[in-house]
Amino acid sequence: MVVLININDLYELIPTDANSDLFPGLPFVAIAVVTTWIYVSTQWKKWALKAVKTADYNDLIRRINDKENSFILKGWNELSSKSKGYRIIGLLIFSGAFYAFDYMNAKTHQQLNAEGKYTEATVLSITQKAKNKKKYIIANITFNVGDTAYEDEHVLSTGFFNRIEETNGFLIQKGDAYQILYAASDPMLNRLMMDSPSAETVSRLMEVTQNKLVKDGQDSILSKCMVQATYQTFGFKGIAQLYHRNTSYWKNENYNSIKYRLMTEKPEFTTIIEACN
């Protein structure tokens, strides 16, 4: 059975606007290249045989096999043997780098668990840095430990999979505040808790969500009720899902229309709808 697929239907499944993270045609180009390579590599002998007379069949087979054995297979085996040492060295370097990175993360995590304390950090500014053709969005923060003020910076996004300057689906602004976990012996060893914004920041984000619902055509009173009830029931992540109820998965893998639909299927959300209506 032959199944015909309309390529235009496939493109409709992938966002094509300017904010898409990956070029939408790239998967199709890759599929076409791989499929063509597989087909050509498996059919070239048959094409060659069709181009010669029957009397030359055995001679052609012999020459093809000799060519494969003398040039392709032999050359590949020689290359494989010579590259064994390089592959081993490369594997050792990669393993060592991965182990060192994992060790530092584990050490930081262990130290924060052992002597970690919480305080509030305020965003001073948002800056952008470029390195090796990558865009890094940096949140410059300040926090106090006792009478001492500390300043640090945290990477919010590398600009690959999420929109820059966003965390948890909301645009970060100067003046926003979040909890920060720091080591008592070294406050510069810390972790910014982006899932734990301050009450003032939550209030701003609730207002942003309410305005988004009104902009989408929902009644203002109903929008305010839904935002407040959703936050009381599902917390900060709940209003983020509410804000991104029409967002594609390709733009935000954590907060999108799919995750929102899953939230609406919960009995608690049904209660919210009934109460607000």
Q: Where are the domains of the chain?
A: 114-197, 200-276
> Can you give the pLDDT at residue 45?
58
Of the ranges 9-23, 55-69, 128-142, which is most confident? 128-142
Identify the burial level of 226 via C-beta atoms within 10 angstroms of its C-beta, where 0-12 means exposed, 13-18 middle and 19 or more buried: buried
Give 8-68 as a DSSP string: HHHHTTS--STT-SS-TTHHHHHHHHHHHHHHHHHHHHHHHHHTS-GGGHHHHHHHHHHHI
Share of the chain above pLDDT 90, in %: 27
Per-residue confidence band for 229, with pLDDT thresholds at 50, 70 and 90? very high
Share of the chain above pLDDT 70, in %: 57
Amino acid of residue 47: W
> Can you give the pLDDT at residue 37?
65
What's this model's pTM, rounded to 2 decimal places? 0.56
The model's pLDDT over 161-206, given as tens digits with 9 standing for 90+, comes to 444 445 667 878 899 999 999 999 989 888 888 878 898 998 999 9
> Can you give the pLDDT at residue 3?
36
Pick the residue with more confidence: 9 or 215? 215
| Contact indicator for 240, 194 with CB cutoff of 8 Å | no
The one-character DSSP state at 70 is I
Q: Is the dihedral of CA 205, 207, 213, 216 positive or negative?
A: negative
| Contact indicator for 177, 200 with CB cutoff of 8 Å | yes
* Rounded Cα–Cα distance for residues 195 and 235 (Å): 10
pLDDT surpassing 60 at residue 17: no
What is the mean predicted confidence (pLDDT) over 81-106? 65
Amino acid of residue 120: E
* Rounded Cα–Cα distance for residues 241 and 227 (Å): 10
| Contact indicator for 249, 164 with CB cutoff of 8 Å | no
Amino acid of residue 251: K
Per-residue confidence band for 57, with pLDDT thresholds at 50, 70 and 90? low
User: How far apart are the two ends of the chain, measured CA to CA in Å?
Assistant: 51
The model's pLDDT over 95-129, given as tens digits with 9 standing for 90+, comes to 666 666 666 667 777 888 888 899 999 999 988 77
Residues making up the chain, counted from first to last? 277
Q: Report the CATH number of the 114-197 domain.
A: 2.60.510
* Rounded Cα–Cα distance for residues 189 and 182 (Å): 6
Residue showing tokens 């309309």: 6
pLDDT surpassing 50 at residue 8: no
What average pLDDT is seen over the chain? 74
In Å, what is the CA distance from 168 to each residue of 165, 193, 242, 249? Answer: 10, 11, 12, 13
Pick the residue with more confidence: 152 or 17? 152
> Can you give the pLDDT at residue 19?
38
Amino acid of residue 269: F
